């Protein structure tokens, strides 16, 4: 059997490649970058360079379909936001594709629509308001204590452009539109948890939860502490029953002082939670394909070691707790017998830096600019 895993720039793709290799599959990975980290793993048989899906969505699907046929690929698994483009064009891919329907992905990706979806559930979103005009933002700037609210684009990732309990003047400068809406979401205090799950036709087959103890700024977690609040798994089980979801899905939660939880947003794709299953790779592949039961990981932390050094160590240089955490958690990029991705992180970072310079944006934005989907219309295949 032959699997193609997309999003080769992401450590999550690297994790899936190792899992499928352990399960005896032939593994290809694909991306639009020249030097993604997953390309250099010993577990990967070949690399497929694809067009940029955001700017060439029809060409991306056409190239992907051609490669699936030419290489005899049986299964296509996305890991990043190329999942939206894959779902939109999956009817043209002659292989099994692990994504939910595009309309459902849109509902989940739009933070306001997702908040409406879970309204009235035992675990629901904080009070949320959709802002589609400058006037709507001005109402909040003038009539509310903005320190009680969080403002963020309806389509966003990595906490990009999020305003956490801002001053009124910051809110007054927002210019949301119906095409680029924002949300005002009431601030919820507590401990953050991130879940990662696999579902098959609404049935939960694998579930992990973690606290992102260290981050890149306010964005992506880079040190993953396993947790297990009961309300979170119950929420994911209800989500599956309500939607019939198939594929990878992740949620961000706040656990409040009384033990109750609020769900903040949904990521209908892979996230760092997949690394918590590294000790049981064959079982994770089986869960993706629909095995019975619910696979849960061992309570062992993981980390992106290079990111910990580059983005967190300076702030915690003299913090013994940080270094204890650093040396206690295995790296998700390197693995005994598979060290090629270690130096590949440098070449991959250089490519992202060059993209950031050309596109005049930050590193996090440059890392996903070519694969993001923010609600824009997509090309239809002929």
* CA–centroid distance for 343 within its chain: 24
What is the number of other CB atoms lying within 10 angstroms of the CB of residue 318? 6
Tell me what the pLDDT averaged over the chain comes to: 94
CA nearest neighbour of 273 among 243, 257, 252, 242: 252
Whether pLDDT at 171 is above 90: yes
Tell me the whole-structure pTM to 2 decimals.
Answer: 0.95
Separation CA 44–CA 17 (nearest Å): 7
Give the per-residue pLDDT at 220: 83
Q: Are 341 and 333 in contact (CB under 8 A)?
A: yes
Give the per-residue pLDDT at 316: 94
| CA distances to 219, 222, 313, 330, 331 from 317, in Å | 20, 16, 5, 20, 19
pLDDT tens for each residue of 191-207: 999 999 999 999 999 99
Separation CA 343–CA 333 (nearest Å): 10
Give the per-residue pLDDT at 361: 83
Whether pLDDT at 214 is above 80: yes
Whether pLDDT at 149 is above 80: yes
Separation CA 18–CA 6 (nearest Å): 14
pLDDT tens for each residue of 53-106: 999 999 999 999 999 999 999 999 999 999 999 999 999 999 999 999 999 999
CA nearest neighbour of 212 among 191, 235, 230: 191
Label residue 366 by pLDDT band (50, 70, 90): confident
Q: Are 330 and 302 in contact (CB under 8 A)?
A: yes
Whether pLDDT at 365 is above 90: no
Separation CA 1–CA 243 (nearest Å): 29
In the chain, DSSP assigns E strands to 2-6, 26-31, 46-49, 75-77, 96-97, 128-131, 149-153, 163-164, 182-186, 191-200, 203-215, 221-226, 247-255, 261-267, 302-303
Separation CA 370–CA 335 (nearest Å): 29
Whether pLDDT at 209 is above 90: yes
């Amino acid at each position: 059997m032959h699997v193609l895993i997309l999003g080769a720039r992401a450590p999550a793709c690297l994790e899936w490649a190792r899992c499928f290799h352990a399960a005896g599959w032939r593994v290809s990975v694909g991306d639009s970058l020249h030097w993604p980290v997953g390309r250099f793993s010993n577990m990967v048989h070949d690399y497929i360079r694809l067009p940029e899906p955001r700017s060439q969505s029809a060409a991306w699907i056409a190239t992907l379909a051609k490669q699936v046929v030419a290489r005899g690929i049986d299964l296509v698994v996305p890991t990043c936001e190329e999942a939206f483009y894959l779902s939109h064009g999956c009817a043209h891919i002659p292989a099994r594709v692990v994504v939910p329907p595009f309309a459902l992905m849109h509902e989940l990706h739009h933070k306001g629509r997702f908040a409406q979806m879970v309204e009235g559930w035992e675990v629901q979103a904080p009070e949320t308001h959709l802002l589609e005009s400058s006037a709507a933002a001005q109402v909040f700037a003038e009539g509310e204590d903005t320190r009680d609210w969080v403002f963020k684009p309806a389509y966003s990732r990595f906490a990009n452009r999020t305003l956490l309990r801002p001053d009124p003047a910051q809110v007054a400068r927002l210019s949301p539109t119906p095409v680029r809406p924002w949300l005002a979401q009431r601030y919820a205090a507590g401990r953050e948890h991130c879940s990662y799950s696999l579902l098959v036709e609404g049935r939960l087959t694998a579930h992990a939860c973690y606290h992102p103890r260290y981050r890149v700024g306010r964005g992506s977690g880079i040190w993953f502490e396993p947790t297990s609040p009961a309300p979170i798994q119950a929420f994911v089980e209800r989500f599956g029953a309500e939607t019939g979801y198939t594929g990878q899905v992740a949620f961000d939660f706040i656990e409040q002082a009384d033990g109750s939880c609020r769900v903040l947003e949904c990521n209908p794709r892979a996230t760092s939670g997949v690394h918590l299953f590294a000790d049981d790779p064959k079982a994770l592949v089986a869960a993706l394909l629909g095995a019975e039961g619910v696979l849960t990981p061992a309570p062992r932390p993981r980390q992106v070691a290079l990111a910990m050094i580059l983005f967190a160590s300076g702030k915690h240089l003299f913090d013994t707790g940080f270094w204890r955490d650093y040396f206690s958690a295995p790296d998700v990029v390197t693995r005994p017998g598979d060290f090629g991705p270690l130096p590949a992180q440098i070449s991959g970072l250089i490519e992202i830096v060059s993209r950031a310079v050309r596109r005049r944006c930050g590193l996090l934005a440059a890392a996903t600019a070519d694969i993001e989907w923010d609600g824009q219309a997509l090309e239809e295949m002929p």
